[in-house]
Amino acid sequence: MAQDQLEKKRHTLAHLLAAAVLKDYPHAKPTIGPAIDNGFYYDIDFSGGEAPGDEDLKQIQKNMKKMLGSWKEFTHREVTADEARAIYADNPFKLELINELDEKGETITFYTSGDFTDLCRGGHTERPAEEIAADSFKLDKIAGAYWRGDEKNPMLTRIYGLAFEDKEELDAYLTQLEEAKKRDHRKLGKELGLFSFSELVGAGLPLWSPKGTGIRQRIDAFVQELRRAKGYQMVTIPHIAKKSLYETSGHWNKYSEDLFKVRAKEGSDDNDEYVLKPMNCPHHTQIFDSVPRSYRDMPQRFAETTMVYRAEQSGELAGLTRVLSITQDDAHVFCRESQLRDEIEAIWDIVNNFYGAFNFTLKVRLSFHDPDQKDKYLGDSAIWAETEALMKQIAEERGADYFIGIGEAAFYAPKLDFMASDSIGRTHQVATIQLDRMMPQRFGLTCVNEQGEKEPVVMIHAAIAGSLERFMAVLIEHLGGEFPLWL
C-alpha cells in the first residue's frame, strides 16, 4: 500500500474511532482526529460524563470492527458556516474550527460514512469496508492532551490507535514495541547506573552519575575530534542573555512563552529582563561580530558543547528524549556564499563518520518551508527557494537517501535533518544542518571583500549528536545497553 493510501486509511480509522466512542459515550464531544506515524488518534472531550480508561479500549475496538462493515463509502457535502454552527451548537471545539474557516473564507465540508458525520477537509479511503482489514488495526492507549496543544486550553482525552497495511505488518510492529520495552532507556539507564531524576531537582532535569558522565564525555570528545580535523575552534558563552538578543534574532516573538525568564535581584539598577538561553546561535553571532572580519578570515567555525533550556510542558517530558536542560554539541559556521557548499559537505562528512561508528543507517529529510504559510517564516520567499534548491542539489550529488518534508523548516532556515534507523527498525531524528541567511541579516553580519566593501555573510547551524540527552536515549536502546569498549 502506498504511503498516501496508508495515511488515508489511518485518517478513516480516526473517524471510525470517534463513531465507536459515541456509541457507548453519547455525551462525548469529538474534536480532531488525524493520521500520524504508525496509526491515528482522536482527541475527545468527556467532560459531560464518564470517560473511558485503558480497560475500555477492547470494547471500543470491538465497536469499530462491527461498524466497519457498514462503512461502504464516504460522501461529502459543503455547508455554510451558519449550517455548520447549528449542527455543532453544543461542541465549542468544532465551533472554534468552523469560525476560523469562516474568517479565512475557506470551504466548510462534512464527510459521512455509515451513521457518522464529521467536520473534515477530506483524505479518506473511498470504500472503508472493502479497503480496510479488521485485523490490520488495534487501539493502543489513552492519554491526556490539551486542546490544540495549549496548556491554557481544556484537557481532552486522546485515544491512540495503530494501523498498518495488513495483520502481518501490525504484528511486526507490535513485536518491535515489545522489544523496545525491553530496551527502554529509562529502564536500562537505571539498571546500568547511568542517570537518575530527583523530585527535589525537578522533572525533566536528569542527573548523571560518574559512569554516565564518562560515556557522555567520550561521545562529545569524538564529536570535537571530528570537528577539529575540519578546522573548528571552541568557544564559550554564558547561560543567560538579555531579552533584546532574542528580539533581534526573532526567537522572542516566536518562542517567548517557551523560555525561562530571569530578573536581576530586587533593588538592582539593572532593569533588563534576562533569559536562560534556549539556543546558542545568537550568542555566537556576537562572537563573530566582536571584531571586523576580512574575506581572508573566512570561514569562521565556532563549536561548543553547552546546555540550553526550554520550558516544555510537564506532560511532554519523557525520560531523556524530552527534557528541560538540553546539552547540545552545537556549531556555527560563518562563511561567504562561495564557501557554502564546501562547508556543508564537510559537516555532512562529520555526520557520516560519527553515526557510522555506531552502525546507524542514515536517511536525510530536506526540511523545507511551506509556501502556503509564509507568515510562519522570516525573510523573502525567493531566498528560501534558492537555499532549498542548493540543499537538494547537494543531497542529490552525494547520492543521499533523502525525502522532502514540507513545513518542517525552522522559522529562519531550511534544514538537512538526518534520520537514523536503529537496530530494531525505528527511525530517530538526530543530526541537523541548517543553512541560514536570515539571522546574519538581522544582526548585520558582514566581512570586507576583495574590493574593500562590506559583504553579507551566511551562517550554517550544525549539531552532530544534537541533544546529548536524546542521543544517549537513542544509543542505549539501539545497543540494548551493550556499549562498545571505547565508551
pLDDT in tens, 343-361: 999 999 999 999 999 999 9
Structure pTM? Answer: 0.79
Q: Residue 10 pLDDT more than 80?
A: yes
Residue from 8, 310, 322, 369 carrying the catalytic annotation: 310
Note whether 116 and 198 are same-domain residues: no
Domain end marker among 179, 213, 246 = 179
Q: Containing domain of residue 315, as a range?
A: 190-479
Is pLDDT above 90 for 378? no
Question: Is residue 281 flagged as an active site residue?
Answer: yes
Decide which of 112, 145, 179 is a domain's last residue: 179
Same-domain pairing of 207 and 242: yes
CATH classification at residue 293: 3.30.930.10
Identify the active-site residue in 415, 426, 437, 470.
Answer: 415
475 and 400 in one domain?
Answer: yes
Tell me whether residue 485 is in a domain. Answer: no
- Of 224, 328, 434, 441, which residue is the catalytic one? 328
- Residue 486: inside a domain: no
Please tell me which residue in 45, 329, 330, 436 is annotated as part of the active site: 330
**330 is annotated as an active-site residue:** yes
Active site residue 328: yes
| Cβ count within 10 A of residue 411 | 15
Do 332 and 451 lie in one domain? The reply is yes
Domain annotation covers residue 185: no
Q: pLDDT tens digit string along 11-36?
A: 999 999 999 999 999 999 999 999 99
Instruction: Tell me if residue 29 is catalytic.
Output: no
Tell me whether residue 417 is one of the annotated catalytic residues.
no
Q: Which of 417, 428, 411, 408 is nearest to 365 (CA)?
A: 417
Over residues 189-236, the pLDDT tens digits come to 999 999 999 999 999 999 999 999 999 999 999 999 999 999 999 999
> Are 251 and 137 members of one domain?
no
Q: Which of 301, 461, 470, 478 is catalytic?
A: 461
State yes or no: is 283 an active-site residue: no
Same domain, 388 and 469: yes
310 is catalytic: yes
For 238-267, what is each residue's pLDDT tens digit? 999 999 999 999 889 888 888 999 877 765
342: which 3 cell numbers?
A: 564546501
CA distances, 408 to each of 199, 321, 405 (Å) = 35, 19, 6
Q: Are residues 147 and 208 in the same domain?
A: no
Q: For residue 2, what pLDDT is reported?
A: 62
From 332, 365, 369, 470, active-site residue? 332
Based on the fold, state whether residues 403 and 314 are members of the same structural domain: yes
